[in-house]
Amino acid sequence: MKKLNALFLALGMMTTIQALAQDLRYGVESQYPPFESRNAKGELEGFDIELGNAICKAGNFNCHWVESSFDALIPALQAKKFDAINSAMNITEARARSIAFTQPIYRIPTMLVAKNGENLAPTAEGLKGKNIGVLQGSIQETYAKKHWETQGVTVTSYQDQNQVYNDMVAGRLDGTLVMSAAGQSGFLDKPQGKGFGFVGKPVEDDAILGSGIGYGLRKDDAPLKQSLDAAIAKVQGDGTLKKLAEKYFPGIDVSVKP
């Protein structure tokens, strides 16, 4: 009887803990490997998915995932279709005028991908007369339009980065500006990416490219920001973030600037 009572007590405590856990709906654009994508079984996978689940565990959240196109993530957040954007979104001044962010979690450099041997460079001069594909609503789109499009480079926006890769292979695009980890895993490491590679060094513009990637929040969700910041600090401090980065982005330093 004592053992039975202890079992009931333990089950009751577990139920209470689960009841205390707060539901958290992540907004995600699921066509951006290795950050987020769907596998052959239709399950969400990737760096942001594993990291998001780890942060939920650290912060005692019950996680749920809501899909959206990348350019619709901020409007959907503001419309309360989910609670936090978890989709490799860089923290920028422009976005911070509309929404709040958690502290920066990680940082990925932005680089140009193009066909080998084309003698291109990630500059307006090196791409003049060329057509560069970018993800619609991304900071790469903003950068390319500001620094390149005004100097004679055609910048074409797509709702899906995979469509960009397809048009590169078909010869309709000369290159794409993309986060290096996404370009590597989502294209260069695949048979489709044979004959392509990174061109030059990462592009730089902190005002556009931001201080790192964080979770987008509504400006009036200060308690949620406080809880997520604490959970983020845990996964940064206990080595979880580093372990996941080594799994998905070998050789890439994802640490944020002090």
Predicted local confidence at residue 7, as pLDDT: 52
- Phi/psi of residue 184, each to 5°? -70, -55
CA 10 to chain CA centroid, Å, is 39
pLDDT above 90: residue 257: no
Write down the pLDDT at residue 16: 45
Residue closest to 222 by CA, chosen among 77, 105, 100:
100
Q: What is the pLDDT of residues 148-206, one digit of tens each?
A: 999 999 999 999 999 999 999 999 999 999 999 989 989 999 999 999 999 999 999 98
pLDDT of 256 > 90? The answer is: no
Longest dimension (CA), the chain: 82
- CA pair distance 150, 148, nearest whole angstrom: 5
Please state the rounded mean pLDDT for residues 226-232: 98
- 1-36 tens-digit pLDDT: 555 555 555 555 544 444 577 999 999 999 888 999
Q: Is the pTM of this model over 0.85?
A: no
Q: Residue 115: which residues within 8 A CB-CB, separation 6 or more?
A: 168, 174, 175, 195, 196
Angstrom distance (rounded) from CA 76 to CA 27: 8
Please, what are the domains in the chain? 10-107+213-248 (3.40.190.10), 110-209 (3.40.190.10)
Tens-place pLDDT, residues 106-155:
999 999 999 999 999 999 999 999 999 999 999 999 999 999 999 999 99
- The pLDDT value given to residue 224: 97
Residue 192, class by beta-carbon neighbours within 10 Å (0-12 exposed, 13-18 middle, 19+ buried)?
Answer: middle
Residue position matching structure tokens 């100097």? 151
What pLDDT does residue 198 have? 96
Who contacts 108 (Cβ-Cβ below 8 Å, separation ≥6)? 88, 179, 180, 181, 182, 213, 249, 252, 254
Closest CA to 243 of 41, 5, 54, 34: 54
Q: What mean pLDDT do residues 28-48 have?
A: 93
The 8-class DSSP code of residue 135 comes to E
Cα–Cα distance between 143 and 124 in angstroms, integer?
A: 11
φ and ψ at residue 130, rounded to 5 degrees = -95, 165
Across the chain, mean pLDDT equals 92
CA distances from 228 to 1, 42, 65, 231 (A): 42, 27, 16, 5
CB 202 within 8 A of CB 93: no
8 A C-beta contact, residue 34 and residue 248:
yes
Q: What is the pLDDT of residue 12?
A: 54
Q: What pLDDT does 253 receive?
A: 83
Instruction: Give the three-state DSSP class for 115.
Output: strand
Q: pLDDT digits over 58-85, tens only?
A: 999 999 999 999 999 999 999 999 999 9
DSSP conformational letter for 103: S
Burial status of residue 222 (CB atoms within 10 A of its CB: 0-12, 13-18, 19 or more):
exposed
